[in-house]
Chain A
Amino acid sequence: MTGPPKKLTIKRIAVAIDCSPHSRASLSAAAEIAGLLQAELLGIFVEDINLIRMAELPFSQEIHLHTARSEPLDSLKLERLLKLQAKEAHELFIQTAERFGIPHTFRKLRGLVSAEVLAAALETDLLAMGRSGRTPVCRKGLGSTARKAVKEAKTNILLTKSGFTVNSPLLVIYDGSPGAKRALETALGLARRETVLHVFLVGQNARKHAVLREEAEMIIGERTAKVEFHMIPWTDSTMLAQCIHMTEPGLLVLSDNTETVDPEIVYRLIDTTDYPVLLVRDSR
């Protein structure tokens, strides 16, 4: 149907660190992938300008997480806390990078978190971040920065959550489009021999499924032994989400440039299913 898929080339990975459990997971995953692909790691810590501004307001009050007690928050105190957080993030980043023996750079920025992260990500091939940031509750959907990154970032995005490892089962939605092929190639690049790879063959009928399977098998070849094909006749987010839940994947490898699944459906899937995601983009 189309020519050979373009391979995803990752030379530099940006990872946003705010020391939340999800961002720690994204740091580990990014470092592991960097180690796997021999890429460089760029650590980003953003001092949120909104926080600094808020501290400057005369009435600003901080509500403590575990006591619900409130007390005034001043700039000085906030600066000190942010400095400590940055230090912690830096140490965590260095330790992780050195553990995987990868080249690394750490950058401390100040500004709007999403804007700064997206700007920094422009210099890299993959932006890794937690599905949600430092929130008082376990948010089911994406955090504001992650959501913005999914919608606006031009680079590939890896969204993780705590407990994620690269060895987890992978899931690819394959419809034969260049984007889907690229996602499949990327998944194969991450998979080890023992990694289970679920491939959703999205097509209207059995014939289409057979064609897709043949193509996918050609691409996969001998690179992984444990492939499970699933014939999916639906393209709406609800049914796809249900199917994804049933396979319990460790990482969704998706493209927002396929023929059968609309990008908005892909974004909704990313938001509603609570799984780590690697969003492969074609634009680069």
Chain B
Amino acid sequence: MPTPAPLNPEELYIQCDPDSFSFASTEDLDGEIKISGQERAQEAIRFGVGMKHNGFNIFALGPAGTGKQTTLEQYLRETASGEAVPEDWCYVYNFENMRQPCAISMPAGKACIFRHDMEHLIEGLLTVIPGAFSSEEYQEQEKNIKEQLNERQASEIEALEKKAAEKNIALIRTPSGFAFAPIKKGEVVNAEEFMRLKPEEKETIEKEISTLKESMQSIMMQIPKWQSETQEKLKELNQQIATFAAKPLFAELKTKYQDHKVVTAYLKDVEKDVVENFGQFLEKESPPPQMLFLPGQGKNTGNRSLNHYRVNVVIDNSKTEGAPVIYEDKPSIQNLVGDIEHLAQMGTLVTDFTLIKPGALHQANGGYLILSARRLLLEPLAYEALKKAIRTRQIRIESLAQLYGMASTVSLDPEPVPLDTKIILLGERSLYYLLSARDPDFDELFKVAADFDDEMERNQNSHLSYAGFVSSIVNREKLRHLDKYAVARMIEYGSRLSGDSGKLSTHIQSITDLVNESDYYATKNNHDLITREDVQQAIDARRYRAGRIPEKIQDAILQNTILIDTESEKVGQINGLSVYMLGNQSFGKPSRITTRIKMGKGEVIDIEREVEMGGPIHSKGVMILSGFLGGRFGGEQPLSLSATLVFEQSYGGVDGDSASSAELYALLSAISGKPIKQCFAVTGSVNQYGEIQAIGGVNEKIEGFFDLCKERGLTGQQGVLIPAANTRNLMLRDDVVNAVKENKFSIYPVKHVDEGIEILTGVPAGIQLEDGGYPEETINGLAVQRLKSMAEKQKKQSDNSSNNNPKES
């Protein structure tokens, strides 16, 4: 099998041609935010927004920083601007049940006018009602009614007094009541004189007094009834006066709001209440000091009860254009569904409908509400409250303190507001799948998934989109503009970020950060525009800042604390490559893999697995090697070997199968006895047929080995074997590309293990002959010979053992 040629420098880094741009700098672009590469997500959003049925809410899923929020807000603002402005909402006092304030909707901008009208009405009532009640006509009528009661009482008692007087009996006032007594010449008969009277006379007097007493008691029993009648008459009079005074003011408002039935009904209730409670408009005294801080006290009302007539405008869309698009940064239950605030007053918590505060759902009603799913789930009960609102299609304000029983005070149960809001959740994919799997309501309520990709195809159009996006960042952040070379470098960085020379990363946050950092260096370098050098400086500086640990490892290798050979040839020893992830940074590093063989039963022992330091994928990779060896060499004879594989100086565990090809090369070397050139490092996974498969982090791995070789001195022999399928992922650093250009370093794209072993050992792998064997002096031939020899030795030992222990007959 012919060995592949090393890759050309052009294949290691796909440059972006600045001359392909029609602009000189991003200043020439319009600076509008254009997100491309998210067509699937955008289509889902369009669908979700267009579907007006219940449950077609959107979950925008994708990695953080991929522009989900930007894309959504941009699209929604465009869409919402053409939609109708939603209605205003206000809460008013419920005269039938004060604990359930009524919600009233009005055309946009009308609620504030209504509130003003009500304030004006109260001011008017505070003038006209006291005026009416201080009029002479009223005073005269009131006096007349009271006088009637007095006269009635007086006449009844005077009649009784007169009747008593006819019988020489007087009604006398006692300290706590009164009594009847016989009189003679205007004076009460004393006891002695009374005792001298004849028994019949005494009896007559006693009888008469008893009768008078009963009559008096009868009159007195009637007094409360008369008083009640008088009160009724006074009440009737008062209501007539109050109605007469208030009617013109209410008539004006009723005419103004005659088309609004709910408001008209409310005004009717207010009028009734005003007439019944006219006294509150007569109180001229200011409230006592301890009553100054009353719930929602208005500027024009010094009286608490007048608060009943206020209008609490919770949603005012007078300045809203189109449908609202709201992003709620802290989606707590209070911020979502609203809250009922309380005031501490004389040691207790009090509230009223004027302390009802709207939530984001109120603000976004008739429009769109964007929420972070993670933040939503972190807020106690917020997710449940949101689901309830979507399910019931209404916003019901429930106080968290009440739900938890933390505030055991009288609270309100405001009338729910109908909900017509498209909810958009933003979150990572894992959250979406978790919710979808675990929450039975989720799929019903969030039927539309807008899946944001973290990369997009790299082509001329996406280059321009990238440039436009960079331009928008510059405008938004008020930075220097980038010249076209800097833009090209940005695009190349985006490609490297995606780990694919044919793709661009859509991780907007990373690009934004790089633009900001490049601007910093442009400032330091006194550049009017950000140049390619500034961008490169920012990239290098970022790598330098994150370079402490890679450098420490590099130093350890250079000082032979970690043994990595890059010069000699060794049997059963190879340089594998691994990638380390630290935060948002990743770097590659070589690791020595060794293998030893002995006689055995054909098993490959993974030492990492034996000590439980190997992950399942790594173990799988090693087992595949057994399959390969068995398939290639075990067809004619048993594999009488036992091989051990290990990542030397690995203390933190190993996972992944990207080293499986390197392990196979080490095994083949160990079996064949042919040494491997240590100037190479290898990455790639392998299948049971020896085909090399793609792996991740290829750029970091190559650069990791290159950095070591560079430190030790590039010899021109050094290089890396990578899966041929990973060639499209290459976006290597300039210094690597330059070294390749100068033939100081090589990168081999390998498709099959037979290609790789030849490059590594300089010995052909050997193609199977018709008789099933392999040519001598090839890796496979030598391996077959070695295995045959081992099998024979094992058979011999087995036979000897049988002879020494003959079977008993």
A contacts, CB < 8 Å to B: 48-51, 53-54, 56-65, 68, 70, 73, 78, 81-82, 84-85, 112, 133-140
Contacts and interface: CB of A to CB of B under 8 A. Distances in A.
Contacts of A134: 173
B404 to A, nearest CB: 50
Contact of A53 (B153, B175, B189, B217): B189
Interface in B142-189: 150-151, 153-154, 157, 170, 172-183, 186-189
Given A50-B172, A68-B221, A70-B217, A58 B191 contact: yes
Contacts of A70: 213, 217
Contact of A51 (B151, B153, B174, B183): B174
B175 A68 contact: no
B504 interface: no
B263 to A, nearest CB: 46
B650 interface: no
Contact of B177 (A62, A85, A138): A62
15 contacts: A48-B172, A57-B189, A61-B209, A62-B176, A62-B177, A63-B220, A65-B176, A65-B177, A70-B217, A73-B174, A82-B175, A136-B153, A137-B153, A137-B157, A138-B153
Given A61-B209, A78-B174, 12 more contacts: A51-B174, A53-B189, A54-B172, A57-B189, A59-B209, A60-B181, A63-B220, A81-B176, A82-B175, A133-B173, A136-B153, A137-B157
B187 A50 contact: yes
A139 B154 contact: yes
A84 B210 CA distance: 28
Contact of A137 (B150, B213, B217): B150
Contacts of A136: 153, 157, 173, 177-178, 220
B220 A53 contact: no
A53 B181 contact: yes
Contact of A64 (B150, B172, B177, B187): B177
B179 A53 contact: no
Nearest to B150: A138
For the complex of A and B, 6 pairs with smallest distance between CB atoms = A54-B181, A68-B220, A81-B175, A56-B191, A137-B153, A50-B188
B194 interface: yes
A49 to B, nearest CB: 7
Interface in B264-311: none
A70 B174 CA distance: 12
B150 to A, nearest CB: 4
B81 interface: no
B209 A63 contact: no
Given A50-B187, A63-B213, A136-B173, A57 B181 contact: yes
A64 B176 contact: yes
B329 interface: no
A134 B179 CA distance: 13
B217 A63 contact: yes
B176 A53 contact: no
Interface string B194-238: 100000000000100110010011001100000000000000000
A16 B622 CA distance: 123
A65 B178 CA distance: 7
A57 B180 CA distance: 11
A48 B206 CA distance: 22
B178 A63 contact: yes
B191 A61 contact: no
B685 to A, nearest CB: 104
B378 to A, nearest CB: 66
A140 B190 CA distance: 31
A54 B177 contact: no
Contacts of B209: 59, 61
Contacts of A138: 150, 153-154
Contacts of B170: 50
A137 B172 contact: no
Nearest to A48: B172
Given A54-B181, A81-B176, A49 B217 contact: no
A138 B177 CA distance: 15
Contacts of B177: 62-65, 136
Nearest to A68: B220
Nearest to A80: B175
Contacts of B151: 140
Contacts of B191: 53, 56-58
Given A56-B190, A59-B206, A78 B181 contact: no
B175 A78 contact: yes
A57, A82, A135 pick with most chain B CB within 10 angstroms: A57
Contacts of B217: 63, 68, 70
A136 B178 CA distance: 8
Contacts of A64: 176-177
A57 B175 contact: no
A140 B143 CA distance: 13
A84 B216 CA distance: 26
A179 to B, nearest CB: 30
